[in-house]
Structure 1
Amino acid sequence: MLIQFAHSDSNFMFSAVPIFIAIVFIIVFGLLIFTAIKGVSVWSMNNRSPQETKQAFVLTKRTQNRHVGSNHHHNSTTQYYITFELSSGSRMELQVQGKDYGLLAEGDKGTVHYQGTRFLDFTREASSEE
């Protein structure tokens, strides 16, 4: 027994393409909205958090490079991170600006100032050798 569909195969293909494009559009648009909401949420949480100051030392530094582009146009961004070990023994990694990343060295001791997950400043202790 042979079952026939109301649409021929070519008509089905042409009717499926707009549906596929709509699904892709919805997924991309949904990801953009999700990313924006998450960013605003983290920003808001940081603003509500108290500013804290803790004794710490710079444990490690790392960078994360992101490359976006086609064959003719390339964009590259670098994000900078520093892991601090607090006097309590706990560790936290904060994203920092490039200038702060360049000024700090692994092993630096001092006071880290932060608000939520937002790095504010690091005040280095004067070493006994100076």
Structure 2
Amino acid sequence: MSYGAARSEQAREGIVRFGVVTALDPGAARAKVSFGGESESGWLPWLAPRAAAISVWAPPSEGEQVIVLSESGDTAQGVIIGSVFSAGNASPAASAGLFKIQVGPSSIEIDASGIRIKAPKIDLN
């Protein structure tokens, strides 16, 4: 295989990578990701469902397994596009018909039977 073909193959293999968040800079909306101990990314942005007049803030957590999409396999140009449940961060539910958001002890659950809000304190103002 030629050098150019080998580089192309290496780039294709690195376009989508799994890693673990090792550091977080919430003010800059960036995180660092370790790829199995072999390397650590620079500060990468994470995907937001919305990021303008309507916005959603949901930063990843340190230790969270994430998926990084990198143009041409260059992780310096990567974006964290999502998370994957893992042994260290298990799914908060096991029902196919349930939508659940959980932050610590607080949660919102929506399913066919209704909406449940659970929290130590609920402030409606």
Of structures 1 and 2, the one with the larger relative CO (CA 8 A, separation 6+) is: 1
Bigger share in strand: 1
Larger radius of gyration: 1
Higher helix share: 1
User: Normalization by structure 1: what TM-score?
Assistant: 0.40
